[in-house]
């Protein structure tokens, strides 16, 4: 049982209710809706990160799963595993991430650097120069910043899920994109 209340859409202002009704019925959204003034804009922000980046969706999802694995948050892992599959992640990749094997041969060299960068951002905040040099040789500045936005967003999500001790929903998979489309 969640340590924070799940918002009932009938009990909140119209902008929050509208955002909740447009979204998939996930416990995470119902907890985040407690932040009434921030929630509608946060939902648009999350939708942008899932649907409107130059960053390759597979790299985005590998980074999200890495954040979930490093944070030991099953909620994020359960929700994003099918999304990762829908954008090209293989079972081998998902199992390697679950085993903390980010150097596994199932990943390309570019995927390995994104996973290393994600690990260093989560664990150390500031990755070493050599990691940044390799990453910026792979991705243009826009995509590096987008990757940082994704990592930061999912670090926050992991912390809210951990503090709230959310009940894990059945995975929504790629269906979450329909609710995530920015308006």
CATH of the domain at 142: 1.20.1290.10
Q: Is residue 19 part of a domain?
A: no
pLDDT range class, residue 170, cuts 50, 70, 90: confident
Q: Is residue 129 part of a domain?
A: yes
Q: Which two tokens stand for residue 51?
A: 């649907």
pLDDT of residue 25: 87
Q: Is residue 137 part of a domain?
A: yes
Q: Is residue 12 part of a domain?
A: no
Q: How far is CA 146 from the centre of its chain?
A: 12
Q: Is residue 65 part of a domain?
A: yes
pLDDT tens track for 7-24: 999 999 999 999 999 998
Q: Is residue 166 part of a domain?
A: yes
| For the chain, percent of residues with pLDDT exceeding 70 | 95
Is the pLDDT at 60 greater than 60, yes or no? yes
Q: Is residue 158 part of a domain?
A: yes
Number of separate domains in the chain: 1
Q: Is residue 61 part of a domain?
A: yes
Question: What's the rounded mean pLDDT across residues 159-166?
Answer: 94
Mean pLDDT of the chain: 93
More confident residue, 81 or 172: 81
Angle between helices 141-164 and 57-71 (to 10 degrees): 40
State how far the Cα of 97 lies from the Cα of 62, in Å rounded to an integer. 8
Q: Which two tokens stand for residue 61?
A: 């999802």
pLDDT tens track for 86-140: 999 999 999 999 999 999 999 999 999 999 999 999 999 999 999 999 999 999 9
Domain of 119 in residue numbering reads as 57-174
Instruction: Give alpha helix (H) positions in the chain.
Output: 14-22, 27-32, 39-51, 57-71, 74-86, 91-98, 109-124, 129-138, 141-164, 176-180
pLDDT of residue 78: 94
pLDDT of residue 172: 80
Q: Which two tokens stand for residue 180?
A: 């995530």
């Amino acid at each position: 049982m969640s340590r924070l209340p799940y918002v009932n859409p009938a009990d909140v202002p119209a902008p929050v209710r509208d955002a909740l009704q447009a979204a998939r019925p996930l416990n995470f959204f119902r907890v985040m809706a407690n932040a009434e003034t921030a929630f509608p804009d946060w939902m648009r922000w999350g939708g942008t990160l899932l649907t409107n980046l130059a960053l390759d969706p597979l790299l985005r999802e590998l980074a999200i799963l890495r954040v979930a694995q490093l944070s030991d948050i099953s909620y994020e892992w359960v929700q994003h595993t099918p999304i990762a599959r829908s954008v090209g992640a293989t079972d081998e990749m998902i199992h390697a991430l679950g085993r903390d094997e980010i150097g596994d041969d199932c990943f390309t060299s570019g995927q390995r650097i994104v996973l290393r960068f994600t690990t260093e951002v989560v664990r150390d905040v500031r990755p070493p120069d050599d990691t940044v040099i390799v990453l910026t040789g792979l991705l243009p500045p826009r995509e590096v910043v987008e990757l940082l936005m994704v990592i930061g967003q999912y670090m926050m999500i992991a912390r809210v899920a951990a503090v709230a001790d959310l009940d894990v929903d059945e995975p929504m998979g790629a269906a979450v994109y329909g609710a995530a489309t920015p308006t």
